[in-house]
């Protein structure tokens, strides 16, 4: 347990350290290139722990490691301005715009670069992600079942997305808890319009409609003392039917067992090009606190693994980051409209837990997580909130329309209000992290 904690802390430090360094380097490099005097390049906030000075810049590490900054001469509203050409405000607005946008741009480029590198070494993804969104199973009494969606239906539109893959369908539903979502399904020669209102599930409040992809049931491990092993099921078998009823997902098998209970069944498996019937009687057992009827094997989703050449890896990385960028913007839009859930946002504790899990899975998993968080950081910093880079860009745009600078007093009040807002946001996010990490805490905190 303690070792896992140390791994999580170390992994979070590496992930956040890389992202902050890259982000601040973007600001620093462009500022230097344009002739702005950089007084501090800092990782962390608060009191200086250590560092070194080179030329006009103090390169430092501060006591609070949750962020960083580049301090430029004349940048803050409270700074004394002398008109020195090295001061931030002495430069034209387009210079200041380039400096502001450089940080988020570096984070987004880092995400694309990391994912490209991973895909060149190991491009692995669930096989069904690439397939048309054909429904393999509809959970009984679920949102999808009540909307009239059936097994075998193909989702040809979800929201505004035409001909989506399952990856796009899953993301769309996840980001739409308790919100109407228009869906078109093809059933034979008909195209039927449906409306889903995904329920909010789990501690993160993500949407769930009860739709399961059409994907093979590939046998992973077989428990030696359970009915499946005794009937002759082998790892690598593909379960295709039970009592003559075709099976399109592990959820469809579990649903059938729940109805069939402990009645004997004939399970058909595909092995080496043959279909083999196995007589199996399910047994009722407890798994992770849930009691249900089981055959005694684990299912593994088929995964496609390859190495992509650089051009294809870059193109696929771009598409992956584009997909997640759209999801992030959609989540932000729903939060602003009051339609989203703050539970879907993670903070430092959530990042630490995720980083620890990724680190234990290996370097490639950690790099992919770093890319995702870097993309999130880049987009978050583009939001039009003063203090953030997007807020500075917004103020520059307003000043450009006014053809004069906003007064220092007004800017100072804007930054103070933004600081309070971000502080409150941080409190909410950390609370969500604690509730996810310690589920029993939710009922004990006010």
Pairing of β 181-187 and β 245-246: unpaired
**Residue owning tokens 């770093």:** 370
Looking at the DSSP bridge assignments, the partners of residue 14 are none
Q: What angle do CA 130, 135, 138 make, to 5 degrees?
A: 140
Give catalytic status of residue 319 as yes or no. no
What three-state secondary structure class fits 31?
helix
Cα 258 to Cα 48, 151, 269, 289: the distances in Å are 61, 18, 20, 16
Cβ 73 vs Cβ 82: under 8 Å: no
Cβ 358 vs Cβ 365: under 8 Å: yes
| 159 vs 166: CA distance, rounded Å | 14
Would you state the structure tokens that stand for residue 268, as one six-digit string?
């058909």
| 237 vs 234: CA distance, rounded Å | 6
Annotated catalytic residue, options 24, 75, 87, 168 = 24
Cα 396 to Cα 53, 73, 85, 225, 386: the distances in Å are 31, 17, 19, 69, 11
CA pseudo-torsion sign 319, 206, 303, 373: positive
Looking at the DSSP bridge assignments, the partners of residue 42 are 60, 69
Residues, the chain? 446
| 83 vs 21: CA distance, rounded Å | 30
| 377 vs 371: CA distance, rounded Å | 10
| 440 vs 320: CA distance, rounded Å | 35
Give the catalytic positions in this structure: 24
């Amino acid at each position: 347990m303690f070792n896992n904690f140390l791994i999580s802390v170390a992994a979070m430090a590496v992930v956040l350290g890389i992202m902050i360094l890259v982000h601040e380097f973007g600001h620093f490099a462009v500022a230097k290139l344009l002739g702005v005097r950089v007084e501090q390049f800092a990782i962390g906030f608060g009191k200086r722990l250590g560092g070194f000075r080179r030329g006009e810049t103090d390169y430092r590490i501060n006591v609070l490691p949750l962020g960083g900054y580049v301090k430029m001469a004349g940048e803050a509203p409270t700074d004394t301005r002398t008109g020195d050409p090295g001061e931030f405000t002495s430069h034209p607005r387009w210079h200041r715009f380039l400096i502001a946008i450089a940080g988020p741009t570096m984070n987004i480029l880092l995400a694309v670069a990391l994912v490209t590198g991973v895909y060149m070494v190991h491009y692995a993804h669930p096989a069904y992600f690439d397939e048309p969104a054909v429904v393999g199973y509809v959970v009984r009494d679920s949102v999808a079942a009540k909307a009239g969606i059936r097994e075998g239906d193909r989702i040809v539109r979800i929201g505004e997305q035409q001909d989506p893959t399952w990856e796009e369908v899953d993301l769309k539903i996840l980001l739409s808890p308790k919100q109407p979502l228009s869906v078109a399904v093809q059933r034979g020669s008909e195209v039927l319009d449906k409306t889903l209102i995904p329920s909010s599930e789990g501690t993160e409040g993500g949407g769930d409609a009860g739709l399961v992809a059409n994907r093979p049931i590939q046998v992973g491990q077989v428990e030696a003392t359970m009915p499946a092993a005794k009937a002759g099921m082998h790892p690598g078998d593909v379960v295709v039917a039970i009592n003559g009823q075709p099976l399109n997902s592990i959820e469809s098998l579990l649903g059938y067992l729940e109805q069939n209970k402990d009645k004997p069944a004939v399970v058909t498996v595909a092995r080496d090009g043959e279909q083999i019937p196995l007589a199996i009687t399910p047994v009722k057992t407890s798994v992770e606190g849930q009691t249900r009827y089981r055959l005694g094997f684990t299912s593994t989703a088929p995964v496609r693994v390859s190495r992509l050449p650089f051009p294809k890896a870059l193109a696929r990385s771009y598409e992956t980051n584009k997909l997640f960028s759209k999801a992030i913007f959609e989540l932000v839009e729903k939060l602003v409209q009051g339609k989203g859930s703050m539970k879907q946002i993670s903070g430092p504790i959530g990042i630490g837990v995720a980083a620890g899990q990724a680190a234990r899975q290996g370097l490639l998993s950690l790099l992919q997580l770093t890319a995702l968080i870097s993309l999130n950081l880049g987009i978050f910093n583009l939001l039009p909130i003063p203090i953030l880079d997007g807020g500075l860009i917004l103020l520059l745009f307003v000043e450009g329309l006014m053809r004069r600078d906003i007064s220092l007093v007004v800017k100072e009040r804007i930054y103070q209000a933004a600081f309070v807002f971000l502080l409150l946001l941080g409190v909410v996010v950390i609370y969500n992290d604690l509730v996810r990490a310690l589920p029993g805490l939710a009922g004990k905190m006010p």
